[in-house]
């Protein structure tokens, strides 16, 4: 999955988590979530990080969660792509992460 955002743009990112076996939603109501976005996968520190309390879990039982990236979060150097990781823990059925690409494009003012 690749997410494209404009530099300095505040925007929500919605994640829908489904079972690989049958495509049904994973109930995330009891999950602990975190998000880490890095310039390179080998980096030890996140450029952008979000903790469990930053996620909107209104539809978590349907496998849908939303996290907002602020204008400050996305005010990064435009480039080919950043590596994002959504980590899901505290669920008996799932305890792993999902990697995605985040592209930040230059904003035109």
Of 100, 98, 99, give the one whose Cα is nearest residue 26.
98
Range of the domain at 70: 2-105
Number of domains in the chain: 1
Strand pairing partners for 14? Answer: 66
Q: What backbone torsions phi and psi does residue 33 show, to the nearest 5 degrees?
A: -115, 150
Contacts of 45 (CB under 8 A, 6+ apart): 38
**High-pLDDT (> 90) share of the chain, %:** 55
Decide if pLDDT at 93 tops 60.
yes
pLDDT in tens, 25-64: 899 998 999 999 999 888 999 999 999 999 999 999 999 9
Q: Residue 21 maps to which CATH number?
A: 2.60.40.3350
The answer on pLDDT for 82 being more than 80 is yes
């Amino acid at each position: 999955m690749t997410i494209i955002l404009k530099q300095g743009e505040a925007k929500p990112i919605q994640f829908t988590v489904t079972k690989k076996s049958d495509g049904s939603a994973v109930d995330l109501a009891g999950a602990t979530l975190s998000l880490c976005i890095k310039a390179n996968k080998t980096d030890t520190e996140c450029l952008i990080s979000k903790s469990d309390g930053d996620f909107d879990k209104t539809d978590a039982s349907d496998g849908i969660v939303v996290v907002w990236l602020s204008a400050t979060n996305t005010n990064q150097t435009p480039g080919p792509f950043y590596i994002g990781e959504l980590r899901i823990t505290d669920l008996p059925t799932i305890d792993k992460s999902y990697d995605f690409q985040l592209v930040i494009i230059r904003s035109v003012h």
